[in-house]
Structure 1
Amino acid sequence: MRTRTARHAAVVAALLLTLGAPDVAAAPAPPPPDAAGTADAESAGAALVARRAALAAASRGGGASGLDFGACPAVEDLPSRVRCATLRVPLDYARPDGPQIFLTVSRAAATGARGAARQGALVQNPGGPGASGMHFPLVADLPGWERIAAAYDLVGYAPRGVGRSAPLSCRDPAARATGPVQEPVRPSPAYKMQRLAQARAYARGCARRAGAALPYYTTPNNARDLHVLRAALGEEKLTFLGASYGTYLGAVYATLYPRHVRRMVLDSAVDPDPRRVWYRNNLDQARGFEGRWRDFRAWVARHHSVYGLGTTPEAVQAGYERVRDAVARTPAGGTVGTGELRSAYLQAAYYDDVWPDRAAALAAFLRGDPSVLAAQAAPDPAAAAGAENATAVYTAVLCNDAPWPADWGTWDRDNTELARTAPFETWANAFLNLPCASWAVRAGRSPVAVGAQPERLPRTLVVAAERDGATPYAGAQELQRRLGAGASLVTETGAGSHGVVGGRNGCVDRHVERYLLTGGRPGGAGPPGAADYRALRAPRRWFVAPRLVAVHGEDVGSEESALGVS
């Protein structure tokens, strides 16, 4: 059994390897696109005024003195040096005096080690949407974080809907199927209709269980909550670390509140192009996962002498298919069917680190021992409630943020075509998002036009792996372009693990540390917008392909001039 300290370290490592109040109302922001869902410009302006009033009121109510940090509840499983608080925000920012919700917040104070000057709070969002950042302060214990933890209060929080923050649920976790899930390789028309009916039932469950609150689980509201949290922490400007979906949240925040951005590290970037949010992003993701599945099979083939699964990716695929056919007939350990098998091997598309374990499980199964696979792929009943909550928030935010095709024929056509070249995850991804086709909330679903802010942003840092499947690399390039000349992009070339910051690549982490501590970005001298490409070989692990880091961007003057600090 792991000790509590070991559990904390494991949680944090997984989280990272996966990432008098200030005057809120006085900082004008462009009207957010979701306000444009009102009938005319007058009502849109009124909604914007109401939102600003709500932000100001929430900031005053939860200001620096209003965040009362104390001992964390036992349910958070955090050590005593981490302190917790709750932040009150409006459910609907257009109704500041309406229903309020409370978000959970955690903080580890800056250590001040070696005389480091405190630089404020570093707030983290690990992505999802649906993931909690409450364990983020524990990174202070991890190697490589000492200087950042010395200078910053490390602040995590559970976004609205997540954990104990006005938790959202779409069905009873206990009602989840307890037996193995069997997914067909090529779904028949009848199976598709079955999944469509299930998606519609799930969407109805979300509407029934959330009630009137359902429309308010959105990225713009997450950004407004983050704005209130920043003010409640006593920070005039936000220093932020976002991973995966957290990069999109950070980009939306920067668009709505550019004057309140100090520094941002955006790791494994979602493509923020409104035309791709979220339906086309998910099609792109299925293509990305297919590429990573090929990477895994090619690596296993190169290590045939270890695993005996064949010397070509095709031979490895054939072995996987034999295992899939076997668990379709007889679930491994009585718990692992084709659905659980696919989910387990999807992790190989996310993280190189699991490749040895997954390859060993295939090899053991084909030698007659299914126990290794069962141990790796069996669902954890203790995690069912958390998984249900995370899925509910994920679904609500994505469905509320943007329009989705309502016509099943569009989904069927697009995913049938895509599955011809990307069969590994296409249909599973489609069925996961299919509740959005019949979502109860229809009005005002226009994605924020990231990058449309009138002010130039301070320097920001985007970090990406070139072969990331979950957030394909083109999204990082698009995000850098939209953030403007002050954005640098650090690329881990030839690599594909999702979530680069925090221990996978020392070269990347040094760039991130330098930026957070000094504001300095990688790159050489040159006019704004020029690019400087450098490649640095990172430490090599025996099971991970060699990694290079390419740096795109350049320094543009001093920190003070870039931030507009007098």
Structure 2
Amino acid sequence: MRATALCSAAGSVLLTALASAPVGGLPADAGYRPALADSAETRGTALAARRAAAAGIRFGSCSGDQEMPGALRCGTVTVPLDYAHPDGKQIRLTVSRAEATARDPRDPKRPVPRQGALVFNPGGPGASGMYFPLVGLLPEWKRIGAAYDLVGYAPRGVGRSAPLSCRDPRKLSRGPSQAPTFPSESYKKERVAEAKAYARGCARKGGAGLRHYTSLNNARDLDVLRAALGEKKLTFMGASYGTYFGALYATLFPSHVRRMVFDSAVNPDPEQIWYRTNLDQSAAFESRWADFRAWIARHDEVYGLGRTAREVLHSYEKALARLAAAPAGGKVGPGQLQGAFLQAGYYDDYWPQRALALSAYLKGDPKPLVQQAGPYPEAAREQENARAVYTAVECNDAPWPTDWRVWDRDNTDLARVAPFETWDNVWANLPCAYWSGPRQRPLDVRTLPGELPPTLILAAELDAATPYEGARELRRRLSGSALVTERGAGTHGIAGGPNRCVNGHLDAYLLEGRLPLYGADCAPRAEPRPVAPGNRAKAAPGVPWRAGQARPATSSATSLRRPV
């Protein structure tokens, strides 16, 4: 049995035990959806949608600071901040669109009937989909771009859409930071104090409106956007966190759905949202980290980091120790190294460049590591905004443990078998322990047979950010859905990537409405090829953007990392 399987099994056993630990707050209620059917928010959403349908969206040139190419058009849609009071404060969401080309890319003389708008969300919470329409330029998306207007948008709080902030972006850490695998009590106290201060900053800067930044309101916003686009029924594709509020939408508005694609699905079980989701994620990243180390070991002749996964781990830990004593370039410490390698847990496109940077650093050349892991101050505002939205949505969405001892107990136990990501995940989410706003009960995602049109779920079997069980749970809860699995692969977000089998099912569904009756398995994509020293041009920090990914962050240490 592989080491990855052992780690996964150990983590699963531990998390099963943790599932019985109370997290406080109100329990999930299977009767919650019927209670919402005639709620003030539901009536407010219907009113806002009627208004949006009448107003439409006036698309024009995109503003200069949005850095959009001329082919894209931008506009705004107005939504209530609080759907229970639709005549109260309004906010504007920015929207981007590339119109359907209406020409078959295989035969440009052949017209293609327009099928409406395909709306996309890349996840987060806190990621913007404004760049999504650019995928229509890629070969894998040309057939879809011929039939659909490709529509992206910035959800509430993100970018120019009533942006949230919790602290001054100029105060983001620009220098090296630590990332102890087994933190001391004094270090924990420092991080608890930081989490409390961050939560206070969110409450102070967000004010009374902060409570309205939730996944349920993201789902309601989506229905208003549908109406503003002139669509009677929604065609939607959500990746990562986008699958969660997409599932909320399917539950709240099943009759408004035309087609929905869920790429890399969050587990929608109300008992998982969001505390246990992050425990599961930390366990899954341990397995993916082991897969990455095994790949490096198979290419020891290129990188010289070890012939076994254990030897590669020793090389990584040696780098951590050196960076703790003397940060690379004065910028990259253990925290930055861990952040850069965490990105490789999301996307195996990063494996060659990360391995090359680690190898070069241990051989005396820190430049590739500084380039890939160092902070980029010019991205500070975007990163601070993304983190603020992430924190607000997840903290507002559900109950969290409010006793630090619960976090400490659960994650100390988990770190014994999954040390790579566990504590970093804690620090990212700990402000939710000290959140001052009201907490919602997670909606029980579920549809009855015939209530929702058939939907498509895509998942990589070894995905760490959204573990595979989430896709299976979503399939059980959305009647008539079909699950397409990329077996033996772990990249987060698989639509529009290099796997022709996956893309074939995506095209068949979006273009023809066809789904595999019992789901389908696809063989894994090819493993990334190693990049030899001296060929660094092929190991640049960025990778081609595609649907299923948030726009690549410029700083690995503070990038969007959850679910999600």
Q: Provide the TM-score with structure 1 as the length reference.
A: 0.85
AA aligned to 2:513 is G
1:361-393 C-alpha deviation (Å, 9 max, x unpaired) = 111111111111111100111111000000000
Distance (Å, rounded) in 2 between the aligned partners of 1:88 and 1:232: 9
AA aligned to 1:473 is Y
Aligned counterpart in structure 1 of residue 382 of structure 2, from 379, 382, 386: 386
Change beyond 3 A, Cα 1:138–1:245: same
Alpha carbons 1:258, 1:453 under 8 Å: kept: no
Mapped pair 1:106 → 2:99 = no
Alpha carbons 2:485, 2:521 under 8 Å: kept: no
Change beyond 3 A, Cα 1:244–1:534: closer
Deviation at 1:224, TM superposition (A): 0.3
Distance (Å, rounded) in 2 between the aligned partners of 1:533 and 1:362: 38
Change beyond 3 A, Cα 1:213–1:65: closer
Aligned counterpart in structure 2 of residue 321 of structure 1, from 305, 317, 320: 317
Q: Structure 1: state its 5+ residue gaps.
A: 1-31, 524-530, 545-566
Alpha carbons 1:126, 1:133 under 8 Å: kept: yes
Deviation at 1:54, TM superposition (A): 1.9
> Which runs of structure 2 are paired with 1:271-290 in the superposition (5 Å)?
271-290=267-286
Identity of aligned residues (%): 60
Alpha carbons 2:251, 2:446 under 8 Å: kept: yes
AA aligned to 1:245 is Y
Distance (Å, rounded) in 1 between the aligned partners of 2:470 and 2:359: 35
1:337-361 C-alpha deviation (Å, 9 max, x unpaired) = 1111100010111111111111111
- Of structures 1 and 2, the one with the larger relative CO (CA 8 A, separation 6+) is 2
Deviation at 1:144, TM superposition (A): 1.5
Deviation at 1:532, TM superposition (A): 5.8
1:432-463 C-alpha deviation (Å, 9 max, x unpaired) = 100000111135x1001001568521111100
Mapped pair 1:251 → 2:247 = yes
Deviation at 1:535, TM superposition (A): 4.9
1:102-129 C-alpha deviation (Å, 9 max, x unpaired) = 1001111111013000000000000001
| Alpha-carbon RMSD | 2.0
Change beyond 3 A, Cα 1:166–1:172: same
Mapped pair 1:55 → 2:45 = yes
2:70 corresponds in structure 1 to 80
AA aligned to 1:251 is A
1:348 corresponds in structure 2 to 344
1:492 corresponds in structure 2 to 486
Alpha carbons 1:506, 1:539 under 8 Å: kept: no
Alpha carbons 2:299, 2:530 under 8 Å: kept: no
Alpha carbons 1:258, 1:455 under 8 Å: kept: no
Distance (Å, rounded) in 2 between the aligned partners of 1:386 and 1:142: 26
Deviation at 1:533, TM superposition (A): 5.1
1:265 corresponds in structure 2 to 261
AA aligned to 1:435 is P
Distance (Å, rounded) in 1 between the aligned partners of 2:400 and 2:524: 42
Q: Provide the TM-score with structure 2 as the length reference.
A: 0.85
> Which runs of structure 2 are paired with 1:391-402 in the superposition (5 Å)?
391-402=387-398
Aligned counterpart in structure 1 of residue 529 of structure 2, from 542, 554, 557: 542
Alpha carbons 2:499, 2:524 under 8 Å: kept: no
Mapped pair 1:446 → 2:441 = yes
Mapped pair 1:297 → 2:293 = yes
AA aligned to 1:63 is A
AA aligned to 1:511 is H
1:504 corresponds in structure 2 to 498
1:209-262 C-alpha deviation (Å, 9 max, x unpaired) = 000111100000000000000011111111011000001011000000000111
Change beyond 3 A, Cα 1:194–1:532: closer
Distance (Å, rounded) in 1 between the aligned partners of 2:524 and 2:384: 41
AA aligned to 1:242 is G
> Which runs of structure 2 are paired with 1:516-555 in the superposition (5 Å)?
516-523=510-517, 531=518, 534-536=521-523, 538=525, 541-542=528-529
Q: Structure 2: state its 5+ residue gaps.
A: 1-27, 104-109, 532-564
Alpha carbons 1:162, 1:390 under 8 Å: kept: yes
AA aligned to 2:492 is H
Mapped pair 1:466 → 2:461 = yes
Alpha carbons 2:484, 2:522 under 8 Å: kept: no
Deviation at 1:185, TM superposition (A): 2.9
Deviation at 1:179, TM superposition (A): 1.9
Distance (Å, rounded) in 2 between the aligned partners of 1:330 and 1:506: 46
Helix, strand or coil for the counterpart of 1:80?
coil
1:157-209 C-alpha deviation (Å, 9 max, x unpaired) = 00000000000000010112232112223111111111111101100100000
AA aligned to 1:132 is S
> Which runs of structure 2 are paired with 1:38-53 in the superposition (5 Å)?
48-53=38-43
Alpha carbons 2:226, 2:234 under 8 Å: kept: yes
Helix, strand or coil for the counterpart of 1:96?
coil
2:475 corresponds in structure 1 to 480
Helix, strand or coil for the counterpart of 1:103?
strand
Distance (Å, rounded) in 2 between the aligned partners of 1:442 and 1:52: 19
Deviates more, 1:400-409 or 1:498-507: 498-507
Alpha carbons 2:460, 2:485 under 8 Å: kept: yes
Change beyond 3 A, Cα 1:387–1:33: farther
Aligned counterpart in structure 1 of residue 203 of structure 2, from 207, 225, 243: 207
Helix, strand or coil for the counterpart of 2:140?
coil
Distance (Å, rounded) in 1 between the aligned partners of 2:113 and 2:229: 17
Aligned counterpart in structure 2 of residue 409 of structure 1, from 395, 405, 408: 405
